[in-house]
Chains A and B, each alone.
Chain A
Amino acid sequence: MSAGVGVDLENLWIRFGDFVAVRDANVHIKGGDFFSFLGPSGCGKTTILRAVSGFLEPSEGNVLIGGNNMKGIGPNKRPTALIFQNLALFPLMKVWENITFSMEIKGASAKERRKRADELLDMIALPGQGDKLPSELSGGQRQRVAIARALCAEPHVLLLDEPLSALDLKLRQHMRTELREIQQRVGITFIYITHDQGEALTMSDDIAVMRAGVIDQIGDGKTIYNDPATAFAASFVGENNVFRGKVLEVNGNEALIRTNRSGDLRSRISTANIGKMKVGDDAMMFIRPEALDLAPTGTKGENFVTAQVTHEEFEGNSFNIFMEGDGGKEIKVAIPNVGQSFDDHTGQAMTLEYEVDNAVVVPAGELAAE
C-alpha cells in the first residue's frame, strides 16, 4: 500500500453563481490521518470533497495533495479515490471486475487482476464472492466492495462521502470500527464526510466542524467536544444545554455570565476565545446533560441552576430530566442509571449543580438546528 500524504486547502473559495458554498477554507490534513468534515447537510462539506477529488475546480485558492498543487489536474489523474454516498458500484460488472476496474484501465492482465481481487476480497472478509454481481450482495457487503475498489487504485488519499448513511444502525456502528481498522492497516490518509457526530468522534484523528460554508473549528474529537470554539460547534456536536446572557466578569480563563433566566453562572472560557471575551459581550454558556447533577433544592451559588421540571424520561442507561430553559429550549439532565430508585419530579422545582470546569462559554452565535 502507498503511504498516506498530506492534503492542504489554502484559502479555498467555491462559488456557484452568487452562492458561496465554501468560504476561505484553510485546512492542513496530516498524511496518514483519519480526518472528518462534520456538518449539517448543505454546509459545503461535499463541495470540499469534490474539490479535493477534482470534480470541481475551486473559484479561488488551492488544493495541495502531498504538497503538489492540483490545479488543472482531472479526477482521473489525482492520487485520490472517492467512495460515493450511494457507492456507485458498476451493476453489470462482477464484484472482482468492479474491484479491479482501476487495474483494467492500466492494462493489467485478467490473471493479475483476479489475483489482486482475491487478495482484496480476503482483506474485506468476503472471500470467494468475486463472481457475484453487486446486486447479489447485502448492503454491508457492497459497502466493503466499494472500499476495496477504491483501495485497489492504490490512492494516497481516500475520500469518503457519507458512505455509511444508507446502512442500518447496527451495521453502521460495525462499519465504523471496520473502516478505522482498514485505515490503520493501509496507512493512507482518509478524508471522511459526515453529518453524524458519532461517526466523526469515534473514527477521526481530527475533525473540522463546518457551518454554511465556513469551517468553525478544527481539532481532535476531545477538543471539539469539550472545548468548542463557537456556539455552533458546541450545539452541533453532541447534546448541549445553552444558557444565554452577557459577560459580567472575566478572570483569566473563567467568566461570570449574567444569564437571562438562571442568574449569574460561572464558566470556563473556551480556549479559542480566551482573551477575546470582554465584559458586556453577548455570550452563550454550554453545559452537557451528563455534566449536570442534582443538588439540594434551593441551593444558591455561581454553579447552581434552579428550574421547573417539565417532564422526565427513562432512556435505559440514563434517567433524563427536562427542565424549563432559556429561549424555549429545555435544560436536559442525564442521571446515569446505576440501579438507584428514581422519583417522578414533574412540576417541581429542582436545583442542579455543575463543576465550573465542565461549563464552557463562547461568544453568542448561531446554534445548530435541531
Chain B
Amino acid sequence: MPRFLKEFFNRNGTLMGSLMLGLVLFWTVGLIILPQLSMLDFSFRPNLPPPEIGGPKDVYTLENYKYLIYGPEGGSQDYNAVDLRVFFRTIVAAICVTIFNLILCYPIAYYLGQTKGNHIRILALMLIIPYWINEILRAFALRIIFGESGVLNTMLVGLGIFDTPFDFIRNDIALYAGLGYAYILLMIFPIYNVIESLDHNQIEAARDLGAPWWRIHKRVVIPYAKPGISSGCTMVFMLSAGALAAPQILGGPSSLWFTQLIYQQFNDNSDWPQGAAYAIVLLVTCILLVLAVMRLFKVNMGDIGK
C-alpha cells in the first residue's frame, strides 16, 4: 500500500477511510470514466437496429467521425459544411463568451477581493441569490427581457433610441448574454478567492514606486491572480461550449449550437453512435484547446485547483 494511502487510513480509520475512498472511486470511475468510455466505444460503432447488435455487422469503424467531416456518403457536398460550421462557430463563440466574461468579472472580483467591509458580503450574496433559480427559468427570463416586445425593446423604443424593436434573439445577442450570465459566478469566485489573499501592501508598494493603476494590474495583480483567472476561464469555456439550455431557449432560429446537433443525433435521429462521436470530438477539442492556452500562458495544472 502506498504511504499516502496508509496515512489516509490511519487518519480516518479503516471503516471511514474505505467508505470515503469507495465513494470517491464510485464517483470518478462509475459516474465519470465508465460512461465516457462507453461513449467512446459507441462512437466507433455503426448505428444498428437492436437485433443486429453483437452480430457480424457490429465492427469498429470511423464512419461516425468521417460523417462530421465529409457528410453523408454520396451527398451533394464534399464536406459536411453545415455541421462543421456549427462546430467552429460554437468553439469561437465559447471563446468570445469566456473573454467577455473575464473582462466583465475581473474588475468585480478585484473590487470584492480588495475592499474591506460588510457590504462586500452583501454584494457577494446579491451575486449568488439569482443562481438559486433554475438555469432554464433564468434563460426564459432573459428571453422575456430580450424579446421583441420585451423590457429592453420597450425601453429603447420608448426612449427613442430605436424606431422599431431590435431583434436581439435573431442577432444572437440574447444567446451570448445568456451564456455569459449563466457562468458569471464560475469566473468571479476563483478570481476573487485569489485576489482576496493578495497583500494590499503590494498594490501600495507598486503605487509608491510610481506605477500607474494599469501597470499595477499588469505586473502585480494579474500575475498573482493567474491561477484563479485560468481556473475561471477553463470552467466558463468548457461549460459554454457544452451548454444546451441557453442555446435552445435563447438561440435564434438559424443559429445552432453544436450541443444541439449532438442532442438531435441522440434524441431525434436515435443515432447514439453518431451523437457519441460528435460529443467526443467536442470534448477532445475543448480539452486540447484549454491545454494549449495553459501552455501559452505558462499555467500549471496544479494551479487550477487552487
> Could you list which residues of chain A lie within 8 angstroms of chain B, going by C-beta atoms?
53-55, 74-77, 80-82, 84-86, 88-93, 101-102, 104-106, 149-150, 153
| Complex-state Cα separation, A53 to B204, whole angstroms | 10
Which residues of B in the span 180-216 have a Cβ within 8 Å of any Cβ on A?
Answer: 199, 201-202, 204-212, 215
8 nearest A-B residue pairs (beta carbon): A88-B201, A88-B205, A102-B209, A84-B201, A76-B210, A82-B208, A105-B210, A75-B208
Name the interface size band of chain B: 10 to 19
In the complex, which residues of chain B have a beta carbon less than 8 angstroms from the beta carbon of A101?
206, 209, 211, 219
In the complex, which residues of chain A have a beta carbon less than 8 angstroms from the beta carbon of B31?
none
Beta-carbon contact of A105 and B201 below 8 Å:
no
Q: Does B42 contact A (CB under 8 A)?
A: no
> Could you list which residues of chain B lie within 8 angstroms of chain A, going by C-beta atoms?
199, 201-202, 204-212, 215, 219-220, 223-224
Beta-carbon contact of B204 and A76 below 8 Å:
no
Of A55, A77, A105, A106, which contacts B204 at CB under 8 A?
A55
Beyond the given pairs A55-B208, A90-B219, A90-B220, 10 more chain A to chain B contacts, judged by CB atoms under 8 angstroms and listed by A's residue number, are A74-B207, A75-B208, A76-B209, A76-B211, A82-B205, A84-B204, A88-B202, A105-B211, A105-B215, A153-B209
Beta-carbon contact of A88 and B199 below 8 Å:
yes
CB distance from A353 to the nearest CB of B (A): 52
Residue of A nearest to B199 (CB): A88
Residue of A nearest to B204 (CB): A55
Beta-carbon contact of B209 and A149 below 8 Å:
yes
Beta-carbon contact of B212 and A76 below 8 Å:
yes
Residue of A nearest to B206 (CB): A101
Q: Could you list some 14 contacts between A and B, CB below 8 A?
A: A53-B208, A76-B208, A77-B210, A81-B208, A81-B209, A82-B208, A88-B202, A88-B204, A88-B205, A90-B202, A90-B206, A101-B206, A105-B212, A149-B209
In the complex, which residues of chain A have a beta carbon less than 8 angstroms from the beta carbon of B204?
55, 75, 82, 84, 88
Residue of B nearest to A83 (CB): B205
| Complex-state Cα separation, A75 to B211, whole angstroms | 9
Beta-carbon contact of A106 and B210 below 8 Å:
yes
In the complex, which residues of chain B have a beta carbon less than 8 angstroms from the beta carbon of A105?
209-212, 215
Known A-B contacts A92-B224, A105-B215; A76 and B201 likewise in contact (beta carbons under 8 Å): no
Beta-carbon contact of A92 and B223 below 8 Å:
yes
